[in-house]
Amino acid sequence: MNLIKIKKILIILLGVFIVSSALLYRNSIEHDRHLENLYKLHESFMEIYSAPELYAQENLEKLTMQSWGFLKKDTDFIKNLSKVAEALPVTYIDQSGHEKEQALLALHQSYFLKVRQAVMKMRRTYIHLLYSAFATNSYADYIPKRQYQGKGADLSFYESNLQLKGKEITHKHGEIDYLVIGSGPAGSLIASELKRKFKGARIVIMESGPFVTPKSMPTDQATEFLESKGQRFTHDGGILIKNGQVVGGGTTVNIDLAFSPLLPSIRNKLERWTEKGWISPRIVGDEKTKWQRIKTIYRWIKNVIGTRSVDDAEINKNNALLKNAIHTARTYDLNQEPFDAGKDKILKISAVDAFLLPALRNDTKKNSSTLDIIPSAKAHKIVFEENGPLKKAAGVEITFLKPFNNPNIIKDINGFDASPGQRATIKARNVIVSAGALGSATLLLKSNIVNPNIGKGIVLHPSIPVVGLFDHEINVMEGLYASVYAPSEDLSDQYFFESMGDDPSVIAQIIPGFGKEIGAFIKKFPYLGGFGVMLVDSVTQKNHIAIDPLTEEPQIRYTLIDSDKNRFRKALKKGVKMLFKQGAKKVFIPSMEAINNGKLPIFDPTDDYKKAIDALQFSPAANIISSAHMQGSNKMGNNPMKSVVDQKFRVWNPETSTYFPNLFVVDSSVFPESIGANPMQSIYTFAKLFIQELTDKPLSI
């Protein structure tokens, strides 16, 4: 290559460098300008969502600058704030405070879903920033200190029988007989009972969430132990989904409410399912033995768990509002020790406490069964093998997840020394899927089982709080803050009122409006009282779980049907009426919809709240709706073309019009429709029914 060519190449490269540098410089300047504009918006939102009576100006300015320091590094937040900026008027920053509020309210009520989603995400962020620490600290005297006891339960007895060699997990003493996926109420009971019932069995239970040392910390409603860290929404952002992702599942994160499977609302469902041929008639029994089987099972469950009834003396002022308002009101049963059991003690009784922990203690007897646990490992695909004309489950492929940095988390209990993201296979003679309605359907969908019913017809039990402001102290968090529930007066309406309490940081999120509205209620936190309205929703095939082809993550596609909306409205109107009758001076529902003649849905007794609620559309990302009871994603039935599991919990194989002989699903996903109430105790019951099916005709091990 001659010198002239070299010079030409160098000149071209220099030109490219100069142009690239100029472009980078210009992009950098544009990026900085964009951030400057977003900071002005950030300042505005901090001011709009703050309450002047709660925040001194200098404190607000300090928090505004400090929060921007970490928010501007959050890519998702910046994208969301940019979307909101694009949707606002160009004159927004120069408008008055009232005009700014109206502009934001218009976005909350926008026809465009993506706009509503963006502004609702932004609202949650700013209210959390402004009220989480402030409100909680300001009202610390009204919030019970979370109880704990020392280091928690001793697990030094546990000796793993498992080993990781290469890409396979095996049992040191032979083939694994039962692999249980999911450690919630069903999985923990099943693993415990398999060990107790089948001598010599080798059992493994695995869980995608971490293993918290039992009794080491309060875990109820801890967002770090919820699936997607408590940020799982339906596909349209309309409903917040709360599923446990921790050893113990929902029983570790819930508040221990126990609804007997013998309640009228649940018995009606079980009778209907029997008549439809969806569940085995043996469950309900014939006329001579009707309900005897479930009565016996539930007596055993209550005895093992220690389920207790709430005493009337434990009902606080907030729960008394509901108890005195409607004749159907009842006290809960609780999976929890009495309050007088000790101040320095975790009172909740989870599936880990009742079933899993005792079963993990290995017997020293010869030929005894063993139980091992693999936490922080996600099953992402069931492996199958051909056995002549029969297709059988052979095990699962798993991915190890990063354990939490928390001193109460048991890390690497089996000594695998696996890296986060590392994959492995674990083989077993029988696979029992108990990962919950979301997890079980996701696993089956990713396992290429050709059954169009998987994930279809889910129900959520959507819930909306109704809160009143009284002229005397209620103190929602005092004592036992969940002790009363009430079914609808007409059983066909199928809804429940459920008394619960929450701290000021959570209450701030559900108050409709902006700083002045939020501040007006939060500063009177001790005077707030109310309850949740929970709908027993209907089955429609359009509501389903699907796998996003781009992210390979599950999506919950759900929309309330018109008849369910009507029942929901009826329940909300009844709830508002009850609070006014109990003396509330104001009542609000957590909605930003335009339903109250241009005003937010904060009602005085003289307001026509019924007309306003009749106008409520339950628009996605414009209301605060939550769900903790997902069910029905892998329905039980007697037809392989219309259901996912048969009456003995075996997964149907529509390709052969028979079932996989060693693949089972046992959790709330098998319910053909809503069980009719909080499903936790019914899940325990169905898990015990499954064990009885195995005991009656045990599989060869």
Lowest mean pLDDT among 351-360, 399-408, 463-472, 549-558: 399-408
Q: What is the DSSP letter of 105?
A: H
Domain range summary for the chain, segments of one domain joined by +: 3-138, 162-227+247-306+349-454+632-696, 458-627
Q: Which value, in Å, is the radius of gyration of the alpha carbons in the chain?
A: 28
Helices (H), 480-624: 504-510, 515-522, 562-581, 609-614
**Environment class of residue 314 by beta-carbon count within 10 Å: exposed (0-12), middle (13-18) or buried (19+)?**
middle
Polymer length in residues for the chain: 701
Interatomic CA distance for residues 386 and 655, integer angstroms: 13
> Would you say residue 25 has pLDDT above 80?
no
Candidate ranges 91-100, 249-258, 381-390, 571-580; pick with highest mean pLDDT: 571-580
Render pLDDT for 391-427 as a digit per residue (tens, 0 to 9): 899 999 999 999 888 888 999 999 999 999 999 999 9
Of 676, 592, 672, 580, which is closest to residue 632 (Cα–Cα)?
672
Instruction: State the maximum Cα–Cα separation within the chain, in Å, rounded to a whole number.
Output: 105
Interatomic CA distance for residues 554 and 439, integer angstroms: 9
**Position with higher pLDDT, 255 vs 533:** 533
Lowest mean pLDDT among 127-141, 227-241, 534-548: 127-141
Fold classification of 162-227+247-306+349-454+632-696 (topology level): FAD/NAD(P)-binding domain (3.50.50)
> Would you say residue 429 has pLDDT above 70?
yes
Residue 701 confidence (pLDDT): 35
Q: What is the DSSP letter of 355?
A: I
Render pLDDT for 34-53 as a digit per residue (tens, 0 to 9): 788 899 999 999 999 998 87
Looking at this protein, which amino acid is placed at residue 229?
Answer: K
Residue 138 confidence (pLDDT): 74
Name the β-bridge partners of 211: 410
Candidate ranges 93-107, 433-447, 469-483; pick with highest mean pLDDT: 433-447
Please state the rounded mean pLDDT for residues 178-191: 98
Please state the rounded mean pLDDT for residues 245-268: 93
Residue 51 confidence (pLDDT): 87
> Would you say residue 548 has pLDDT above 50?
yes
Write out the two tokens for 278.
């969806």
Render pLDDT for 300-324 as a digit per residue (tens, 0 to 9): 999 999 999 998 889 999 999 999 9
Query: Are 660 and 152 spatial neighbours (Cβ–Cβ below 8 Å)?
Result: no
Render pLDDT for 665-674 as a digit per residue (tens, 0 to 9): 999 999 999 9
Of 247, 256, 251, 250, which is closest to residue 408 (Cα–Cα)?
247
Q: What is the DSSP letter of 158?
A: -
- Mean per-residue pLDDT over the chain, rounded: 91
Residue 53 confidence (pLDDT): 78
The model's confidence at residue 342, banded by pLDDT at 50, 70 and 90, is: low
For 254-337, list the strands marked E by DSSP: 257-258, 308-309, 330-331, 333-334
Interatomic CA distance for residues 682 and 265, integer angstroms: 12
Residue 627 confidence (pLDDT): 96
Q: Which residue has the tokens 């402030």?
A: 134
Interatomic CA distance for residues 280 and 562, integer angstroms: 32
Interatomic CA distance for residues 201 and 190, integer angstroms: 13
Interatomic CA distance for residues 625 and 532, integer angstroms: 10
The model's confidence at residue 346, banded by pLDDT at 50, 70 and 90, is: confident
Residue 700 confidence (pLDDT): 39
What strand order describes the sheet that includes 162-165?
162-165, 168-171, 423-427, 390-400, 377-387
